[in-house]
Each structure stands twice: as structure tokens, then as C-alpha cells.
Structure 1
Amino acid sequence: MKKYIIDIISNNIPRSLVLLIDLLIVAINFIFTYFISENFSKELDFVKLIVQLPYILLIALISFVIVGSYKGVIRYTGLRDTISIYMGITLMSCLFIISNYLNERIDFSPAYILTISTIIVLFLLNVMALITSRFLFKFVYKSVLKKSLETINIMIFGAGELGTIVYSTLEKENAQRNRIRCFIDDDPRKKGKTIDRISIYGLEKIDEDYVKSREIKEVIIATDKISQKRLLEVSDKFLTLGVKVKMVPPVVNWVEGDLNVNHIKEIKIEDLLNRTPIHIKNPLIEEEVNGKVILVTGAAGSIGSGIVEQLTNYHCEKIILIDQAESCLYDVEQDLIRKRKRNVACYVADVRDINMMEMVFKSHKPHMVFHAAAYKHVPLMEANPYEAVKVNIAGTKNIADLACKYKTDKFVMVSTDKAVNPTNVMGATKRVAELYISSKNKVDNCTKFITTRFGNVLGSNGSVIPLFKKQIADGGPITLTHPEITRYFMTIPEACQLVIEAGSMGLGGEIFIFDMGKSVKIIDLAKRMIKLSGLEYPNDIDIKITGLRPGEKLYEELLNDGENALPTHHKKIMINKSESFNVQEKIGLIEELIHLTDPENNIQIVEKMKQIVPEFISNNSIFENLDKK
């Protein structure tokens, strides 16, 4: 019998059946009202009752169809459904009064005239019976189905508006699986109170005994007022207690402004880094890019594709995508097609190919260039200086020279904090590229050259977080080069915002630097990722120290010696006015470096880079001997 009931209520009851039940309830209420109006007399006029009953049901049918009170999913009945039922019953009562008036005017039949007292009593009975029937069904659905299925006991951190929305969403969309055991809030005014008879506690109340006795499986962080530091403390406590931590996304990410269960995701390591997201709102960006042709190199990479995605939110005349990674560029193109972004053109091309690059510039004459194409992996570039120079330096020179030739308004280069006092080939090539861009700005007045520097980008291809995730999935161990190594982190959207902001703000010659908060100790990041995976360090997943890789630093910097950071209108963005140098000498040395065409003579290539960038001191590398000379 229970299984039969579950099968019925687990599926949506047909609307026609709901309407039929509603009409049946109205019929019963009218019969009861008729008995009341006749004072339960034994000498009732059943003929009159039989005549009036179809009339009552007809008016009720018309009212319910007009209002649509029968269309709601009964097991999800809420305030709006209640209002809909009330409106239907009110309309029915109004139609009775109008019918009475018309009957009296045309003297049709006194059998169809209802007394005011009958209309009022019928109204009250229908309100109580129809609304009660809805909530009674909802109660039966929740109680019977919850007993038949395994439930998940959940806590909600946040007893404010967002917390109550999460509670309502869980109750409505997934009532058969979730059971809210308590709310948790830091506000002392809320502690000890209840929401829908569910208690609100402070975090100090939640301990191992509470979690075990109530078999708590999950906690949902449902507050947009929590600081990054507090989020870290809260999540660490819950993870230590063996409770899965989930988060509600920002309201702007809800589909059509409504939250659903699928929006609530497990907390990620990106959410727990000691970093407050930076939001840039600059109306000048629209002025800079709307109606313009924008070229993005490295458009299939993490930063390049992020820049393209954000640019498509504006009204650019055309966005030109260049990348040599065919498959990745195809993925970006297909994503843009799915989003119906038609003002794009994709080229599978290499920034080292000057002929191909000139064809693109000649065909499209871009107003602005975002140069994100580069090799970025430190150990690989340490072993392949020739390729690093050809792409990171010669490729940058090609695009910069063409920007001047075709009178591009602005050239924005994506650089890295590894270019600051570099200890590896990759960082040194990016520093040389910075110097060339700075030199071009000083000797050519046709284009405004701008540089942006960031730290590590969360989730980018080949970054530490995807690597750690894979190692955890494989059962460990996590490999770490040094227990004291630290890094700055930022998200891909933030990095791309910075680049676009720089394009609108820059006047030429600046290096824009992001205030990236505190650097993160990588071993702490690894331990948190193990916790987030529901595992324990070192019992389940160990961390293995492998030693610094060639060219790797213990920590990164944002400014070179001799550089000074100045504030901008945005408190999180600084401008570095780079140190003075002999422009013609630097350009000459860079051209000599580019023309070193022997891929086997890495010593000569690195030696020339050290001449261009005197602060380039190799670390844990075969090129350390060059520094001794």
C-alpha cells in the first residue's frame, strides 16, 4: 500500500484530476452549507438542492479555470498557490452575487438565487477546505516519502534572507532527500530563535557530538556577508568534523534570478584561498571597445579565452582570435557559436609567423590588441630557451611592430610576476618582452603600449590546482617542490578584468600591477585540497617533497629593484613607472638575441638574456655558471 501511495505522489497528479477533486470539495461544502442554512431541518427541499448543485459546480468550474488555481504542483504548494486558490474562491463568490442580481432583474428562477449568508458560509468553508487539502497532501508527500528514502541531514550556515531562500528551495525541489537540522549564524541576536520551528545556533554549538548524534552529512554556506578569513575558519571546522561543505553562488549567477538545488555546489579550493575577489567597474571600458576591432593573441589559452569571453559582453565590431593550438581554439569558437556570438574571426596561426600576422593586421586593422600568446611553463622553458625566446620575445616583437605599422590605438601585453627579478628562462623572456614594449612606447608615438603583471591564475592549464586534483584522484601522493614555497593567486575572471581595465585606463608606458593580497603557502593549499576531497593527510593522501625545479623561486615578487608603484583610481590596481634605461641599446641587444638562430646553443641565448636583464640570476639551473662569470 505504501509503495502504491509513493508511486502516486512521486508523480505530478494530472491537472484535470486536481480540478475534479476541487469541484468535489466544493460540492460537499455546498451540501454542508445547505444543511446549515436550513438549520439541519428534517424537512429539507432536496429538489432545490439537486437543482442548485450543478449551478454551484458550473460557477466553481468557471472561476477555477479563469484563475488556474488547479494548475500548481500540489506537493510544492506555497504562498502563491494559496493566493491563487483564494482568488478562485473569491471570484466564485462574486459570480454568485452577480448571478443573484441578474436573476432578480430578469426574474429567471428563484432556485438559482443564493442568500448572502449562504455565499459567506460557502466562501469560508471552501477557503478552509481547499487550502487545507493542498497542505495535507504536501504533508503526506513529505512524511511518507521521507520514510521510504534515505534522507540527508543538512545544516545551513546563515539565518538571513539567503539562508531562508536556500531552506525554501531545498524544501520545494528536493524535499524527499534533505532534512534541515539547524541553522547556524554568527549574529548573537538570531541565536536561540527559530525559522519554521528549526533552531538557530552559534558555530560554537556545533561539535563532534552534535554532528554524530544527528548524523549531519552536509553544511551549506548561505551568506554573502562572510569575510574570506571567516569562510576559511568555518570551512576548516566543518571539514575537520567530516561534514561536506557546499556554497550558494552569488545571486547574479542564478538563472533568471531564481535559486535551484543544482546551483548549490561543493566548496572549491578557489573559494578558500585568502583572497577577496576584486570587481572592476569602469564605464570607460565600453567607450574603448564598443564599435572597435579587437585582436586577441593566445585566444585559446586560459587568459586569452577569458578576455574574449568578457569582450563578447560589449558591442565590439569584431573580435579576432589567434592561437596555434587548433583543438583548443576550436573549442573556444564552438562555445562562442553556442552563445550566438557572431562577430568573431578565428585564425590558427603562430605569432612567430610574421607573414601570417601581417595578413591578419592588414585584413582587419585592429584598434586594440590584447597580447596573451606565450609559453609559460618554467621547467619546460628552462630546457628549451630557444623556443621561449622565439615565442615570448620574437612573437611579442612581431605583434608590437605590426601594431605600430597599422596604427593600432593600444597594445596591452599580458606579463607575469615571474618577470620580476627573474630566476628562470621563462621569467627572463617575459621581462625582455616587457622591456621591448616599454622601448616601443618611448620611440614610437603611433601606439600606446601597456603591460599588465599578475601572479598565478587559479585553474589555468597546467597550474598547481588541477595537478593536485589529479594526484588526489590517483590516490596520491601530492608532489610539492619545497615546504616553504609560496605563490600569489588570482582567478581567471579577475586577471581578464585587469587586462581589459588596463586597456581602457592606460595612456602608454605603464606596467599595471594587481594588489593580489597575501601569498599562499602551497603546502597549506595542498592540505586543504585533501580535506575538501573527504580524505585525511597523511593517512589517506601524503605530500612528497621533491625539491625545487630548475629556475623555480621560493616566492614571487611584483616589483623589480628600482621600480615604484603608484596608486590609481582603483585601490587594488597600481601603476609602475619603470626605471629608465638606454632604449636604443636595449632594442639592439633584443634584436641580437632574436637573431641567434642556433637552437643547440642555449648557453649563448641565455647569456644574451642576462646581458639584457642584469637582474636575471639563475636558480637551481644549469645556467648558474653564467652568473659566476
Structure 2
Amino acid sequence: MKNKVLNLLLVFIDAVCINLSFILAFAIRFDGHIISHRIAMQYFPVYIKSIITVTLIKIVIFYGLGLYNNLWKYASIEEFVQIITTSFFAMAGTVSYMVIMQQHLPRSIYILTFMIDIILIGGIRFSYRASRSIRENGLNRRKNFKRVMIIGAGQAGAMVIKELKNHDDLNSKPVVIIDDDERKIGRKINGVPILGDRYHIRKITESKRIDEIIITIPSASQSEIREIVEECSKTKCKLKILPGIYELIDGRVSISQIRDVDIEDLLGRDPVKVDLEEMSSYLQNKLVLVTGGGGSIGSELCRQIAQFNPKKLLILDIYENNAYDIQNELAANYPELDLTVLIASVRDKQRLHEVFSKYKPQVVFHAAAHKHVPLMEESPKEAIKNNVFGTLNVAEIASVFGVEKFVLISTDKAVNPTNVMGATKRIAEMIVQAMSRNSKTEFVAVRFGNVLGSNGSVIPLFKKQIANGGPVTVTHAEVTRYFMTIPEAVQLVIQAGAMAKGGEIFVLDMGQPVKIIDLAENLIRLSGFEPYKDIDIQVTGLRPGEKLYEELLMDEEGLTETKHHKIFIGKPIFIDYKVLISELNHLREILLDENNDLRDYIEHMVPTYKRTS
């Protein structure tokens, strides 16, 4: 109701302005002498005769072109352009009418009227915004609002500043802009000054009493974002970020897309470039099976495989809740996908035989595994049953049914393992390497480090500890780990599968190792606290089976480059299939004997295993 009244008021004001424009145009054209000027009095009655029709024509065109649909309290350059365009078409309509009715006015009158229309009609609207802005600034001085620093003086930064100024409910005031372009320093965007580059962030946040920092550089590389975030983390400000341009659905910026800066922004890397055609060649129109498809890696494998239009996607998992979640997600996002979810254990060879016999998968990604190091130290038999004999079961049946490609998801903990979990994954690698020599199936393994945000990883634990007020617990001050995002790891796994010829162990480039204590400190800062002051960090000591650092390659494996700069191949090590099967049979017997120590025999099978517990 209020909007209708305001629009009616605007229509009335516009009607007055339209006629005032004509009168002023006559006054300017005839030096202010309308009534006393002989020529003016020839034309002025023509205007008076058409005054009602001309007013209606212009109002109708204003309405038709949406001039009464805008919220003028947010008026900006786009609305000004609309006023010019609308005024032009309104004048064109007026001229057309006058010509048709053979009512002639000097051309200068039309040109002057058009220009005055823009000034009056635009002035009315922008004066409303100006008066409202002055009124709100007065209110802002009497209420608390967040003082915001914008990093990035580009188009995205300008749009965010505009949005913040136009949305009172956000209670945020852009105070200063930071940009590395020296040519921009000293200038303003929407009244907000650009005062320095990234190395002035800490100093300016203190002098300007900044509460929140928003990074608005969607085109920046991940390494550049990481450097900026590290500078920002030295302040006590809340930190937010606009997603990278590849994350924006249509390339447009809005306030709703701004999110908190997460630790992934510090550890993440630039998007992986993959050969989509090569990846598609072995997945499109193929029947693909993912074991452990409900887990962190397995579910992401399913998401990405679904994009390549497989003939059918089979998800096999023992945990029904995980399987149910990914089933619903894929059904919603890929309604055309032929999807079957199977609840089964890789330990159950008979059940696996039934699955392969019925569905006959052509490509298998084996992600089912126990992966938690301390838990597997306490339950080594479970690790062997799942990681070793589960892998053997799936691999043997895959070979029997003529699967084209078998990709094992391995881990850097398989290299010179100091724990049961890592040792069992190394045996799993040995199984696929040995079978590749005795099968038509191309067996390969892909080895990588920790993935950000996976179930049971250190980052969710740290976040929970910070939310509880601390302390954050780190096992050792010198512990380092490799990190990679789940989507990046899975993309490279699929790419490695396309390169596979059989028997390789692909090693992913994990970037630089990260000290866990540095990770904890950065996460505390990103949460708005100061390490050791607001949230303490406690060193608890290495857990059973835990290493100070992880490795991606054994000494004897060597390293060969591939055509993808983030994927390498470890030199295959000869493993006698018959000898391995004999050792696995003996290991199976030991599983049944409670008096034997499994770790002794694991050391025999994996000479690089050096147990610490």
C-alpha cells in the first residue's frame, strides 16, 4: 500500500516536471520572454493545446520502461542510465505524436526539454536517496555498526561496497579499501578511500578500528589469497571472503555469496587442470563401481563420476547412513543418472561375487578402508580384515569378471609405515601390483596425503575444540602433514585412472607439508581469537603409530613424471604373486590365533614397517 502511494506521488511529481521542462525550454530558447516574444507566442499555444496528451504519453512510456519499479533509495549509475534512456524514448514518443498531429515546435525546444527532463526527473529521485543517506548517517552515529575493510579495489569490491551501503540490516559500514595497485592508492570508490596495499593491513586495521575484513578478489590465484589471508590473520578482525570466480555460478557478485574465510583458503591451491576428454573416455557409458562410496573420498568420487555420464553407477558401502545420504544427493543433482546403492562389506567375498555377477562393473574404484591410525593400533585385526583381505576380495573378483580398470585409493602412510593402518595399505598396494602381472585387468594404486574436511581429520577436531573454548591439542610441535582438498584429490585420482596401464603406483603432488601447530594457530586466528592468549594450544605427545612427518615415496620406487604436472609414477616393484598369496594365507591363519602377534608377521611382509607401539 505504501509503495502504491509513493508511486502515485512520483507520477504526480513527474507530470509537473514534464511540463516544467517545456516551460523552461521555452524560457531558455527565447531568453526568458515567452509571452512578450512574437515567435514564442506562435509556438507556445501549440504546446498548451497538447499539454494533456504529451504528459500522458510521457507518463505511459515512463511506466512501460519500468521507471516506477525501482527502489530509488538504492539509486546508482544504472538507474541514472535508465532515466536517460526512458527520457529519450518519452521525447521520441512526444515528437512522433506532434508530427502526426501536424503540431510543430522548434527542434531546439525538444532537445532542451529532453535535457531538462533528465535533470528534473533524475534530480527528484537522487535527491530522495541523498536525503535518506544523510538521515541514515545521522542514525549510524547513534548506533553500533561494524567497521569494514574491503580488500580489492576492483569491480567486485565496488559492488560489495554498494551492497553494504544499501543494506541497513547488515549493520556494516565500509571504511577503507586495500589494493596492491599503487595507481589506485589515494582514490575513492563510492566515497570509501583506498589507503594502502596488503602490507599496510595490520596498521590500518588498528588506526581505523576495523571490526571485519572482506576479501573481494574473485580472480586472484589461491596462492595470492593465501598470502592475503596470512596478513589478515595477524589482526584480530573477523575475516570474510568472496568466492573465487570459478565458484560464482554466473560471475555476478552478491552479499549472500560472501562467506567466512576457512582454513581451506590457507591450504588450498589453484583449481586442478585435468584432461576431461581423457577422463571421459574410460567413464562415459561404463558401469562404474565405487566401494566405500559413502565415505569422504568415495562420495566425492561418486559426485565427479556422475558428471561423466556413466552407463550405471554402483555405490557399495557397509554404512547405510552414509550410503543413504549420497544416494539422495545424487538423485537430486543428477536425476538422469542410473544409480544403484548396495549395502555390503568388502570382507564378504560371496556377497561381492553376487554383485559382480549381477552387474558386471567395468571400472572399479576401491575406496573402502579403515583409515584411523590410533583406532587401528588398538584393533589391528580389523585393519587387516578390511584393508588387506577386503582389497584382496575385491581385486580377485574384479579379475575373475574381467573388470577393465581397478583403482585402489591408497595413502602416504603406506610409505615406510610406523602403524598398522599404513602397513595394511602397503600390503593392499602390493596386492594390486602383484595382480597386475597376472590379470587382464589394469590394476593401479593412487597414493596421497591428508584431505581437508574428511571424516575424522584434524581440522574438524580443531574447530570443535575452539568452539568449546579450547585448549586445542597437538601431538607434537614438529609434526607436519601434506594436505589437499577432497575435490582436488578425487580429480587427480580419476585423471590417474585414465593414465593407468597396469601395476603403477601414482603419487599425487601434495604441495608443501604444513606444520600442524601452525595450522592450529591460523585456525584460532581465523576464528577471531589470539593463540595462547584467548585459546591455548597443548602438546599432548605422539599417539601410538604416529609419525612426525609423512612420505609419499619409498627409496627404491624412484619417480617418473607424467603428462600431468601434479601426478607422478612410482617405479613398480616386482612382487611375486604366488609368494604374496602364500604369505596372505599365513596371515589369515594368524588372524585366527589369539596368541600370535600380528605385528611381527606384518613386519615380515612389509620390511619398511617400523612399529612404534
Identify whether the pair has TM-score above 0.5, normalized to the shorter chain.
Answer: yes
Measured after TM superposition, the shift of residue 130 of structure 1 is 1.9
Q: In 2, are the aligned partners of 1:295 and 1:370 still within 8 Å (CA)?
A: yes
Q: What is the match of residue 477 of structure 2?
A: 483
Identify if the C-alpha distance between structure 1 residues 102 and 526 changes in structure 2 by more than 3 Å, giving closer, same or farther: same
Measured after TM superposition, the shift of residue 71 of structure 1 is 2.3
Which of 17, 23, 29 is the matching residue for 2:21?
29
Q: What is the match of residue 410 of structure 1?
A: 405
Identify if the C-alpha distance between structure 1 residues 483 and 63 changes in structure 2 by more than 3 Å, giving closer, same or farther: same
Which of 545, 567, 578 is the matching residue for 2:561?
567
Q: In 2, are the aligned partners of 1:142 and 1:176 still within 8 Å (CA)?
A: no
Listed one character per residue, the Cα deviations across residues 180-236 of structure 1 (whole Å, up to 9, x for unaligned) are 222222233333344345332333773666434422112222235656665455334
Measured after TM superposition, the shift of residue 592 of structure 1 is 2.9
Give distance in 2, aligned partners of 1:12 and 1:559: 72
- SS state at 2:314 partner: strand
Which of 344, 347, 357 is the matching residue for 2:342?
347
Identify if the C-alpha distance between structure 1 residues 273 and 207 changes in structure 2 by more than 3 Å, giving closer, same or farther: closer
Residue identity matched to 1:618: R
Give distance in 2, aligned partners of 1:600 and 1:459: 37
Give distance in 1, aligned partners of 2:563 and 2:606: 31
The 5 Å alignment of 1:398-547 reads 398-445=393-440, 447-547=441-541
Moved more, 244-253 or 139-148: 139-148
Measured after TM superposition, the shift of residue 97 of structure 1 is 2.1
Residue identity matched to 2:366: H
Give distance in 2, aligned partners of 1:473 and 1:296: 35
- SS state at 2:365 partner: strand
- SS state at 1:375 partner: coil
Q: In 2, are the aligned partners of 1:432 and 1:590 still within 8 Å (CA)?
A: no
Give distance in 1, aligned partners of 2:323 and 2:397: 23
Give distance in 2, aligned partners of 1:23 and 1:585: 96
Q: What is the match of residue 67 of structure 1?
A: 65
Moved more, 238-247 or 432-441: 238-247
Which of 271, 276, 281 is the matching residue for 1:287?
281
Identify if the C-alpha distance between structure 1 residues 14 and 452 changes in structure 2 by more than 3 Å, giving closer, same or farther: farther
Residue identity matched to 2:365: F
Identify if the C-alpha distance between structure 1 residues 100 and 568 changes in structure 2 by more than 3 Å, giving closer, same or farther: same
Q: What is the match of residue 326 of structure 1?
A: 320
Q: What is the match of residue 108 of structure 2?
A: 117
Residue identity matched to 1:25: C
Q: What is the match of residue 98 of structure 1?
A: 96
Residue identity matched to 1:408: V
Q: In 2, are the aligned partners of 1:320 and 1:345 still within 8 Å (CA)?
A: yes
Identify if the C-alpha distance between structure 1 residues 597 and 213 changes in structure 2 by more than 3 Å, giving closer, same or farther: closer
Q: What is the match of residue 602 of structure 2?
A: 609
Give distance in 2, aligned partners of 1:15 and 1:582: 85
Measured after TM superposition, the shift of residue 98 of structure 1 is 1.8
Residue identity matched to 1:611: H
Measured after TM superposition, the shift of residue 131 of structure 1 is 2.1
Q: What is the match of residue 206 of structure 1?
A: 200
Q: In 1, are the aligned partners of 2:383 and 2:420 still within 8 Å (CA)?
A: yes
- SS state at 1:397 partner: helix
Identify if the C-alpha distance between structure 1 residues 166 and 596 changes in structure 2 by more than 3 Å, giving closer, same or farther: same
Residue identity matched to 1:71: N
Q: How many residues align?
A: 603
- SS state at 2:246 partner: helix
Measured after TM superposition, the shift of residue 544 of structure 1 is 1.5
Residue identity matched to 2:69: K
Which of 253, 258, 265 is the matching residue for 1:259?
253
Identify if the C-alpha distance between structure 1 residues 115 and 228 changes in structure 2 by more than 3 Å, giving closer, same or farther: closer
Moved more, 457-466 or 326-335: 326-335
- SS state at 2:211 partner: strand
Listed one character per residue, the Cα deviations across residues 415-465 of structure 1 (whole Å, up to 9, x for unaligned) are 0000001111101110111100111101112x1111101101111010000
Measured after TM superposition, the shift of residue 243 of structure 1 is 1.9
Residue identity matched to 1:29: S
Residue identity matched to 2:17: I
Measured after TM superposition, the shift of residue 360 of structure 1 is 2.1
Q: What is the match of residue 117 of structure 2?
A: 126
Q: In 2, are the aligned partners of 1:183 and 1:201 still within 8 Å (CA)?
A: yes
Q: What is the match of residue 546 of structure 2?
A: 552
Measured after TM superposition, the shift of residue 255 of structure 1 is 3.1
- SS state at 1:138 partner: helix
Give distance in 2, aligned partners of 1:173 and 1:279: 38
Identify if the C-alpha distance between structure 1 residues 474 and 98 changes in structure 2 by more than 3 Å, giving closer, same or farther: same
TM-score normalized by structure 2? 0.91
Moved more, 202-211 or 317-326: 202-211
Moved more, 453-462 or 345-354: 345-354
Identical amino acids, percent of aligned pairs? 38
Identify if the C-alpha distance between structure 1 residues 286 and 558 changes in structure 2 by more than 3 Å, giving closer, same or farther: same
Measured after TM superposition, the shift of residue 162 of structure 1 is 4.0
Which of 375, 384, 393 is the matching residue for 1:380?
375
Residue identity matched to 1:617: K
- SS state at 2:342 partner: strand
Identify if the C-alpha distance between structure 1 residues 561 and 547 changes in structure 2 by more than 3 Å, giving closer, same or farther: same
Q: In 2, are the aligned partners of 1:509 and 1:577 still within 8 Å (CA)?
A: no
Measured after TM superposition, the shift of residue 614 of structure 1 is 1.3
- SS state at 1:216 partner: coil
**What 5-or-longer segments of structure 1 have no aligned partner?**
1-6, 105-109, 622-629
Q: In 2, are the aligned partners of 1:479 and 1:543 still within 8 Å (CA)?
A: yes
- SS state at 2:549 partner: coil
Give distance in 2, aligned partners of 1:291 and 1:90: 57
Q: In 2, are the aligned partners of 1:479 and 1:545 still within 8 Å (CA)?
A: yes
Listed one character per residue, the Cα deviations across residues 499-540 of structure 1 (whole Å, up to 9, x for unaligned) are 111111111111111111111111111111111111122122
Give distance in 2, aligned partners of 1:383 and 1:204: 49
Measured after TM superposition, the shift of residue 40 of structure 1 is 5.1
Listed one character per residue, the Cα deviations across residues 551-571 of structure 1 (whole Å, up to 9, x for unaligned) are 111110001231111001111
TM-score normalized by structure 1? 0.89
Give distance in 2, aligned partners of 1:214 and 1:543: 31
Identify if the C-alpha distance between structure 1 residues 305 and 216 changes in structure 2 by more than 3 Å, giving closer, same or farther: same
Q: What is the match of residue 3 of structure 1?
A: none
Give distance in 2, aligned partners of 1:142 and 1:339: 44
Measured after TM superposition, the shift of residue 17 of structure 1 is 5.8
Measured after TM superposition, the shift of residue 173 of structure 1 is 5.4
Which of 74, 88, 91 is the matching residue for 2:86?
88
Residue identity matched to 1:200: I
Give distance in 2, aligned partners of 1:472 and 1:181: 30
Q: What is the match of residue 107 of structure 1?
A: none
